[in-house]
Every structure is written in structure tokens, then in C-alpha cells.
Structure 1
Amino acid sequence: MSEILPYEIRRGEIETYFDRTASDAWKRLTSDAPLGRIRASVRAGREAMRDFLLSLLPQDLTGLCVLDAGCGTGALSIAMAKRGARVVAIDLSQTLVAHGRELAAAAGLSDAIRFASGDMLAGGHGRFDHVVLMDSLIHYEPNDAMAALASLSARTTRSILFTVAPKTPMLQMMHRTGRLFPRGDRAPAIVPVATGRLRERLEAHPGLAGWEVGAERRIASVFYKSHGMEFVRS
């Protein structure tokens, strides 16, 4: 029997959470539906981070192929398709992917976005000009996150945009004592990382030679803490 790697174990936990436990909660979170204070702050933070990541991409994406790795309900995919991109939108959750496909159809963008459920690192998804991983690496240990970025970099020509959970006293306390959602909706544990140390490790990683960290921005919206980073070919 082959050994199951930590990445694969955590990937299974994430798939179970988003596909079976909290799909309805995440559909509401990414919609315009009214929310309570906690979830509203998460929505606001996610929207701010999405805007930052989009600001790092060309306004005109015509002719470019972009991977939305961990696409959820497809908000980023739809925004990039509106700029002319051909988008491959991948998520572990079949439920969220199906919902994203419906939203893209309603926006008239079905032909521009190819939705699929599965592993965002699978080589069969193709090659890309840009890759975006918004809140897709936050459940993984730093070594696994860096290995994921190295895997994607081999098939990416321009930039990789991603987020991590910054290691702050408040975030560490939140994730020790109960986190963002009611007990039945809790996600697999988020792994806070020291962003300065991560930057150094990324730039020294042998699988990421020829890449360098570009723009960064931290978003803090009460119950949403995230650090966006741009990784570009040097």
C-alpha cells in the first residue's frame, strides 16, 4: 500500500468539509444574502483580497489562460473571464463547482470558464499564463504549500498569486478557541505562517528557482485575516 502524504490527508479533509458540511454556508458567504456580523466581516475581507489579487493581473486578459485553483463558487473565475481570460476553475467540492457553473452561465460566461472538481495540482489541467490560489493553501503546512507552488510553477509562464494565513496573536487565538463558524461548520484547521520566513524559504526553494516575490498585501477585516503574495518569474 502506498504511503498517504500529509497533503493528501488534508486534501481529503477539505473536500469533506466543503462538499458535505458547509457548502450551503459558503454559497451564502459568496452571495449577496444578508449575513451576521462574523460572516459579514469574512465576506468583506475576502472581497478586499479578491480585489487585490485581481489588481495584480492585466486588465486585459484576452488570449491568456488562468488557473483558478480552489475556485469555490467561481467569483474570481467570473471576474477574470470578464477581462477576456480563458479560465480553468478547479475545486475539490463538486457542490461548489456545480454552483459556480450555474453562476457563470447566468453571467453568460460558460464558454470562457471550464469548471471541474478535483486536485488543483493535477498536471492534466494544462499550462497557464497565471495561477491564482485565493485561500487555497491556508490549510496546508508550509512545506506542502511550497511544494504545491513549485508544482504549479513548472506549468506557469508569468505569475502565481496566492494567500496565506499570517501568524498573528489574534489569528492564533481564534483558531485555537473556536474560529469563524458554528461548530458544525468548522473548517479543517488553518495553518498560520510567519510571512517573512515564508518569503525567505520561497526564494531559496530549489523547485522555485527563477521566481521571486513581488507585491504583497495584508487584509484584516475583524474575523478575516489573510496575506496576499505575488510570485513572478524573475
Structure 2
Amino acid sequence: MTYEATRDRVETYFDKSATKVWERLTSDAPVSGIRATVRAGRDKMRDIMLAELPADLTGLRVLDAGCGTGAKAVALAERGAQVVAIDIAPELIKIAEARCPDRLRKQITFHAGDMLDSAHGTFDHAVAMDSMIYYSDAMLVSLLKANESRIRGKFVFTLAPRTPLLMAMFRVGKLFPRSDRSPVMIPHKTAKLASDLRIAGVQGKLAEVERVTSGFYISQCLRFGGRP
């Protein structure tokens, strides 16, 4: 499957099937036990990712790639950043705009579309939480290579780690029809992706930051480019 086909599938899921689920999951509303573990895991991962960037982002332009309902964008703006928050799902962008505090509206620009479209220009840093987990190694190499020169500092993002538990869940999931379910998440090995990046001539370095395991939420934070 191509990058464009995968991207379009993700858009259809989040804009048509899962908007209400994500709106509730990313709020303070009560959720089921399983979703509560996912919420807790995502909250922890967001804190880990934000800790990778400077505490003072005043005057810096930061990309929130796959911003969802906008929690990271708000946190970045509160540090002084000028944030470009992009999500493939227009309905999620509407939620993010509605939740944005009035005092930060001049610092956040929301867009519905391709999170890595070069038309959005260059950035000092970028974050992408759980928005690149649907792409293959080859697609990730292509994306990182194409955007290496656009992101001057750190690109902090998450992938699904290739663990025995996650691979078991992945294989079982492939047995069921997915017409109304989330797009297939692709587990990765950091060492393999790093090797593929070197072979492709990508100069930036890939490093693991921290892994979060919270019930059904299993995610690895990675740092690309910038200084370790």
C-alpha cells in the first residue's frame, strides 16, 4: 500500500468512524477501563515527548503533525511556540479549534490535511504522536528523508515497538475484517529503521527516548535529528 492510500485510509477512519470516540478519549469524560489505560498511556507519552523540547520555545516555529484534538499544540503554545497544528481529519481539527484557549489562538494555526506537506514550510522542531504508526519502514524512511531539511532541530515521534505482545495482537487483528475499525498499526524495530535510514543516506540520527506500556497502549518515543 502506498503512503497516499494509507493516509487516505487513516483520514476516513478518524474523520468518519472515530471522531466521537477520540473526542471522548481526549477529554475528562468517563471511559471504560480499557480506554482509561489508553488515555493514561497517551497522557504519559505526551509528557515524555514535550520534555524532549526546550522549556522555552518563544519565537520558535513548531509542527504538531497529527495534532488530533489539540492538547500538544496548546502545551507547545503555552511555552511560547508558534505552532502549526495539522491533522488529516477535518472533524478533529474542528474539535481542536473549539478547545483552543482564546489567549493562545494567535499562536496556533490549525490545518486539515497532510501533516508533512512541504507547503507548510520549515520548522525549528516537530512532534508527531501516534500519527506515523500506520506506515511501513520504507514509507517512514521516505518521509524522514524528505523532511530532514525542513526540521532544523528535533523531530520527536512515536511508533509501535515490535514486541512479542504487540506482534501477537497484530496477528490476531489481521484475522478480522477492518471495514469499521482502526487502520492497521505496523510494529517496528528501531535498529532496523535506523539501519534503513543510513542505507538511504539520511544524515539525521535516530534514537530511542522512552517506551510507554499502559494496558492496550504500547508506544515507543523516538527522537530524530537534533542533538542527543
TM-score (norm 1): 0.90
Q: Are residue 222 (structure 1) and residue 219 (structure 2) matched?
A: no
Give the Cα–Cα distance (whole angstroms) in 2 for the partners of residues 83 and 68 of structure 1: 14
State which of 125, 146, 151 in structure 2 corresponds to 1:151.
Answer: 146
* Partner residue, 1:86: 82
Percent pairwise identity: 45
Give the Cα–Cα distance (whole angstroms) in 2 for the partners of residues 6 and 215 of structure 1: 26
Give the Cα–Cα distance (whole angstroms) in 2 for the partners of residues 204 and 221 of structure 1: 34
Equivalent residue letter for 2:149: A
1:183-202 alignment to 2 at 5 Å? 186-202=181-197
Q: CA deviation digits over 1:81-120, x for unaligned, max 9?
A: 000000000000000001101111x352111100000011
Q: CA deviation digits over 1:53-94, x for unaligned, max 9?
A: 100000000000000011111111010000000000000000
Give the Cα–Cα distance (whole angstroms) in 1 for the partners of residues 170 and 31 of structure 2: 21
Q: Are residue 231 (structure 1) and residue 227 (structure 2) matched?
A: no
* Partner residue, 2:200: 205
Q: CA deviation at 1:184?
A: 7.7
* Partner residue, 1:137: 132
Equivalent residue letter for 1:133: A
Q: CA deviation at 1:186?
A: 2.0
SS in 2 for 1:120: coil
Q: CA deviation at 1:231?
A: 1.2
Equivalent residue letter for 2:212: I
1:39-188 alignment to 2 at 5 Å? 39-104=35-100, 106=101, 108-178=103-173, 186-188=181-183
| Unaligned residue ranges in structure 1 (runs of 5+) | none
After the TM superposition, which of the residue ranges 193-202 and 63-72 deviates more from structure 2?
A: 193-202
Give the count of matched residue pairs.
Answer: 224
Give the Cα–Cα distance (whole angstroms) in 2 for the partners of residues 97 and 37 of structure 1: 27
Give the Cα–Cα distance (whole angstroms) in 1 for the partners of residues 136 and 210 of structure 2: 21
Equivalent residue letter for 2:56: D
Give the Cα–Cα distance (whole angstroms) in 2 for the partners of residues 162 and 176 of structure 1: 24
State which of 12, 27, 30 in structure 2 corresponds to 1:31.
Answer: 27
Equivalent residue letter for 2:158: T
Q: Is the 8 A contact 1:87 1:113 kept in 2?
A: yes
Q: Is the 8 A contact 1:121 1:151 kept in 2?
A: no
Q: Is the 8 A contact 1:203 1:213 kept in 2?
A: no
SS in 1 for 2:124: strand
| Unaligned residue ranges in structure 2 (runs of 5+) | none
Q: CA deviation at 1:233?
A: 3.5
